[in-house]
Amino acid sequence: MPDMFAEEAARARRALVREIEAYGALRDPAWRDAFAWVPRHLFVPFYYVPASGPGGYERLWSGDPDPVRRTRWLRGAYRDGALATRVRDGELVSSASQPSLMARMLEALDVRDGHDVLEIGSGTGYNAALLCHRLGERHVTTVDLDEEIAESARTHLAAAGYRPAVLTGDGARGCPERAPYDRIVATCAVPSVPYSWLAQCRPDALVLAPLSTGLILLRVADRAHAEGRFLPTSAYFVALRGGSAPAPHPRTTGVPRRVYEDEGFRFLSTLAAAGLEGREALSLWQRERRPERERFGVTVSGGRQWAWLDDPEGAYAWPLPEL
């Protein structure tokens, strides 16, 4: 990356850190230091923004001969927003997550010095770089199904001075050759928790993954048992590719449009799609007075897994599809 960007990028990073802090994240000084140090623009040398016309996207890139467009690219790289990084046939394939959401996820992982972390979904490599800065590159493994994405992440990481293990493979199967792990974090949405992840964890490990439109944080007891609740924040990620089970589609028959468009109801209806019809979900939603995400959880036990409200053995529980 040309030196011409360094000074402005440093200013933009400081502004981004202040913005993330204003949202209540980066309370841990170690993560604040990581976001203040790791140059995000090296991981998004180009990205796409919505645009009218064929394809629906406009490409911004670091080498644009137009200085105005180069400035748009650099400033956009440090906005607290998600960035579309790969588009194929008009469809989003990969994206760089919103930094403030990444900060919340990384802090929720509660990592300690010496922990080994597996990331599912390499993306641009930026999240892996933050982990490397915090833990050291030998403790970080990231895997992606797409060799092109993995190689791009590897290149970006090297440009920023980091060389963790970047591997190509089906994220649903984890990465057994580098196991065991103390933490597993997914940056792609899953319909349920792959059992292979639990099998590759040390006892008392944590697994954080986007599920439905939320983030489930599981504590692992052993290879067959894990349990945890959802974080309060909403989260929308590109779906995990590989595996075998598609995400369940919420059934909305009998649900008023204004209710379905409520973000909290959509979370419930998607999470419980395998067990609730639209009217049943609506009845539960109203009876429980719009339950917050953190009242919901997931249990994995004895070869099955289910989502629940308030109590894993309570009245409200729904099976999750298996990968």
d(CA 87, CA 68): 23
For the chain, strand residue ranges (E) read: 46-50, 57-61, 83-88, 91-96, 117-120, 140-144, 165-168, 181-186, 201-211, 214-222, 225-230, 296-301, 304-309, 317-319
Whether 94 is catalytic is yes
Instruction: Supply the DSSP string of 142-198, one letter for each residue.
Output: EEES-HHHHHHHHHHHHHTT---EEEES-GGG--GGG--EEEEEESSBBSS--HHHH
Cis peptide before 180 (omega within 30 of 0): yes
Question: What tokens were used for 192?
Answer: 């349920």
Q: Which of 52, 62, 94, 100 is catalytic?
A: 94
How many angstroms from the chain centroid is the CA of residue 174? Answer: 15
Catalytic amino acids?
Answer: 94
